[in-house]
Amino acid sequence: MPTLNLSNDARKFLETLPPKQFKQVAGKVFALMANPNQQDVRPLVGYPLLRADIGEYRIIFDVEGDQLNVFLIGNRNDDEVYRVLKRKMN
């Protein structure tokens, strides 16, 4: 099983979630650690990253060797997660 590397942005977002949503998102992250090639994982257009959805949230991540790197977690229904990603990647 890969090790987990959460970015500061992802960690801060998780800290703001209500308990029910935190449990959902954390469960998805652990599921990605067990199997990062799940059916709902898609490549992120324009970036060498992957995305996965859980409820109303989107997880932006990649897998390098034996490490799952979670860059961002955000609402999937707005474009804020992509604006933050664009700032971080440029």
Please give the average per-residue pLDDT across 33-62, as a whole number: 92
State residue 2's pLDDT score: 77
pLDDT digits (tens, 9 = 90+) for 4-18: 999 999 999 999 999
The fold of 3-89 is: YaeB-like fold (3.30.2310)
- The mean pLDDT value of the chain amounts to 90
Break the chain into its structural domains and give their ranges: 3-89
State residue 82's pLDDT score: 82
Higher pLDDT, 89 or 56: 56
According to DSSP, the β-strands at 57-64 and 50-54 are: antiparallel
State residue 68's pLDDT score: 94
What is the CA 87 to chain-centroid distance, rounded?
16
55's tokens: 């409820």
